[in-house]
Amino acid sequence: MFHKKDKKDTAPVPDEVVCEKCSETLNRKLLNECWGVCPKCDFHFEISGRRRIELLLDSGSFTEMDSSLQPVDALSFTAKSTYLERLKKSEEQTGLSEACIIGRGKIENREVAFGVTDPFFMRGSMGSVVGERIARLAEYALSERLPMIFVSGSGGGARMDEGMFSLMQMAKVSSAIGRLRTARLLYISVLTNPTMGGAMASFAALGDIVVAEPGALIGFAGPNVIKQTIKTDLPEGFQRSEFLLEKGFIDKIVHRHKLKSTIARVLDFCLGSV
């Protein structure tokens, strides 16, 4: 369920994890067998992009694309550490070259163009390579006349380390998805906890069908930032998927265990049974 440790990363992985919602101490192996869903309170933990592929796509059907694309430090950005150091650390922790995985696969034998952001790689934030991969996925879906499915776990929004190079990806991916809509090709956006910032202000919100996992934090600015800005208490459950469903911002909340079958039914409904 959680990201695979690189051999260079020798920090031990605890056998137990505490649920953020009910504070129950859970065995990590059992939690993995439950697909990262707390068996006590149904809290949906963050899971890796690779695990998403295992759970949503038919076994052995996924063919990854553009994995060789890697980010560069065009701004020589430095905070507590350099951008290159942070990238290297994320690569070692996740085994990924970037926060986004794209490719072609099948969902219950239905061909799809599929992508996912990994929350364990710099919080799934969107840099130039993430934006490029999503745009290429949309272009591939267009050329192959495939429905596009994208699972967002982008808690980091647009990546500050790349400045404007990151922010411009919002327009690029939105334009690419717009071409799908012009061609009348289906785009299903799946929102998970958390999906925030520039990701939510672009590709994550643009699905023809937008579904979310239960309890997912979804929005642009975080609730603490908003509360400090407007100087007032926020509504109960503000920015959670249940609140957004009530307000009509998303179409459906789907439990992780039912997500694959639900997407398959949506594909059949929108595209015709196979």
pLDDT value at 274 more than 80: no
Report helix, strand or coil for 229. helix
Provide the residue range defining the domain that includes 137. 47-271
pLDDT tens-digit readout, 25-81:
999 999 999 999 999 999 999 999 999 999 999 999 999 999 999 999 989 988 889
pLDDT value at 88 more than 70: yes
pLDDT value at 139 more than 70: yes
pLDDT value at 273 more than 80: no
Which of the pair, 13 or 103, is modelled with greater confidence? 103
Task: Please return the burial class of 48, using the count of CB atoms within 10 Å of its CB with bins 0-12, 13-18 and 19+.
Answer: buried
The helix (H) or strand (E) run that includes residue 151 is strand 148-152
Task: Please return the burial class of 228, using the count of CB atoms within 10 Å of its CB with bins 0-12, 13-18 and 19+.
Answer: exposed
Q: What is the CATH number of the domain that holds 145?
A: 3.90.226.10
Give the integer Cα–Cα distance in Å for 149 and 195.
15
Give the integer Cα–Cα distance in Å for 77 and 128.
14
142 and 29 in a common domain: no
pLDDT tens-digit readout, 143-182:
999 999 999 988 888 898 999 999 999 999 999 999 999 9
30 and 9 in a common domain: yes
CB 75 within 8 A of CB 161: yes
Measure the N-to-C terminal CA separation of the chain; round to a whole number of Å. 31
Count of domains forming the chain = 2
CB 169 within 8 A of CB 136: no
118 and 40 in a common domain: no
97 and 175 in a common domain: yes
List the one residue out of 135, 103, 116, 99 whose CA is nearest residue 55: 116
Give the integer Cα–Cα distance in Å for 162 and 158.
9
The pLDDT score that the predictor gives to residue 2 is 35
51 and 2 in a common domain: no
**CB neighbour burial string for 128-158, b if at least 16 within 10 angstroms, e if fewer:** bbbbbbbbbbbebbbeeebbbbbbbbbbbbb
170 and 87 in a common domain: yes
The pLDDT score that the predictor gives to residue 4 is 40
Q: Cα 260 vs. chain centroid, distance in angstroms?
A: 15
The residues near 207 (Cβ < 8 Å, ≥ 6 apart) are: 150, 187, 188, 189
The pLDDT score that the predictor gives to residue 190 is 98
56 and 186 in a common domain: yes
86 and 207 in a common domain: yes
pLDDT tens-digit readout, 99-123:
999 999 999 999 999 999 999 999 9
231 and 127 in a common domain: yes
Name the pLDDT band for 13 (thresholds 50, 70, 90).
low
111 and 7 in a common domain: no
The pLDDT score that the predictor gives to residue 180 is 97
Q: Report cis status (omega within 30 of 0) of the bond before 194.
A: yes
31 and 91 in a common domain: no
Domain boundary among 9, 24, 45: 45
141 and 39 in a common domain: no
pLDDT tens-digit readout, 192-245:
999 999 999 999 999 999 999 999 999 998 778 888 888 888 888 889 999 999
The pLDDT score that the predictor gives to residue 227 is 81
List the one residue out of 127, 115, 135 whose CA is nearest residue 179: 135
Give the integer Cα–Cα distance in Å for 187 and 207.
5
If one counts every other C-beta atom within 10 angstroms of the C-beta of residue 110, the result is 18
Give the integer Cα–Cα distance in Å for 12 and 199.
32
pTM summary value = 0.90
The pLDDT score that the predictor gives to residue 27 is 94
The residues near 50 (Cβ < 8 Å, ≥ 6 apart) are: 3, 4, 95, 101, 118
